[in-house]
Amino acid sequence: MNYGFVIDNRNCIGCHACTVACKAEHDVPIGVNRTWVKYVEKGQFPDTRRVFSVMRCNHCEYAPCVDICPTQALYLRPDGIVDFNNDRCMAANPALRLALMMLSTLTPNHTLLLSVTTVRIGGCWT
């Protein structure tokens, strides 16, 4: 079973507090992000604005990051959560960076103000 919830990005100011909180709460290593904030700039000068969208790990049922990770640091737990083993994770792991890039192409268009992401990290809701 996959879990999910709706994030109302209209309230996002791009402060990255969610990214920092996720890293601290789940002991996410330096160079790895499970939560990140994307933005696009809209309009033309002088009428410009920045639109933010919170992106999170989707804990895919068939996670490409698990398959591509060369050190098997990423693994799929029996409860469906994609997790990682810090002892196996290399600093600035290229597999994790590739997975994040792949996820960003699979998620809804980041210019939307309302996006749906699956998020259940480490067994707790964030």
Residue 100 belongs to some domain of the structure: yes
Spatial distance between the Cα atoms of 116 and 26, rounded to a whole number of angstroms: 21
Count of domains forming the chain:
1
Residue 125 belongs to some domain of the structure: no
48: Cβ–Cβ under 8 A, 6 or more apart, which residues? 41, 42
Spatial distance between the Cα atoms of 80 and 46, rounded to a whole number of angstroms: 47
Residue 26 belongs to some domain of the structure: yes
User: Can you list the positions of beta strands (E) in the chain?
Assistant: 5-8, 35-44, 47-56, 74-76, 82-84, 114-117
Residue 87 belongs to some domain of the structure: yes
Least reliable range by pLDDT among 10-14, 53-57, 79-83, 111-115: 111-115
Residue 80 belongs to some domain of the structure: yes
Residue 107 belongs to some domain of the structure: yes
Predicted local distance difference test score (pLDDT) of residue 107: 42
In terms of residue numbers, what domain contains 56? Answer: 5-117
Residue 126 belongs to some domain of the structure: no
What is the tens place of the pLDDT at every residue in 45-100?
999 988 888 877 777 788 888 888 777 878 888 888 888 777 776 644 555 556 55
Do residues 122 and 25 touch, judged by C-beta distance below 8 A?
yes
Q: Find the CATH number of the domain harbouring 28.
A: 3.30.70
Query: Token pair 């083993």 is at which residue?
Result: 85
Residue 75 belongs to some domain of the structure: yes
* C-alpha separations of 8 from 17, 21, 52, 115, 116 in Å: 15, 18, 10, 7, 9
